Amino acid sequence: MKQRIAHIALVVEDYDEAIKFYTEKLNFILIEDTPLSETKRWVLLKPSGSDGCCLLFAKAANTEQQTRIGNQTGGRVFLFLYTDDFKRDHTNMMAKGIEFVRTPVKEEYGTVAVFKDLYGNLWDLIEPSNKQLL
């Protein structure tokens, strides 16, 4: 049997502002942006150089979903962005105004810092010690 996680839904307030943030600030690549109705789109993005899981932007459709924007995990780190060069990416992200809420530290598993996306979701930026994880 072969399985994989293809997409992770990220609840967003607005498709276009989310696309702009992820492509311009995090250097993600827009894979697809297909209208499904007047209010719903199929929007997929992936990190540059990745051939794995993509983010699927899901625009909040009701009040309950709007309460989850930026807090899908109750304040815990939600997503993990692996890099082959922590210093390069951390420097670039800081220059683009990305807010880091935890400073870089070296852990047994690699170098890591926590940043916020445009809605406040927490991400780990990680350069793993084990390069096979990339």
Q: How high is the pLDDT of residue 41?
A: 98
Residue 133 has pLDDT above 90, yes or no: no
Q: How far is CA 57 from CA 71, 97, 109, 133, in A?
A: 14, 22, 29, 25
Q: How high is the pLDDT of residue 132?
A: 78
Q: How high is the pLDDT of residue 57?
A: 98
Are the C-beta atoms of 18 and 57 separated by less than 8 Å? yes
Q: How high is the pLDDT of residue 91?
A: 98
Strands of 110-116's sheet, edge to edge?
77-82, 122-128, 110-116, 100-107
pTM as predicted: 0.94
pLDDT tens per residue, range 45-84: 999 999 899 999 999 999 999 999 999 999 999 999 999 9
pLDDT tens per residue, range 5-18: 999 999 999 999 99
Residue 134 has pLDDT above 80, yes or no: no
pLDDT tens per residue, range 76-116: 999 999 999 999 999 999 999 999 999 999 999 999 999 99
For the chain, which domains are there? 1-69 (3.10.180.10), 70-134 (3.10.180.10)
Between CA 127 and CA 89 the distance in angstroms is 10
Q: How high is the pLDDT of residue 70?
A: 96
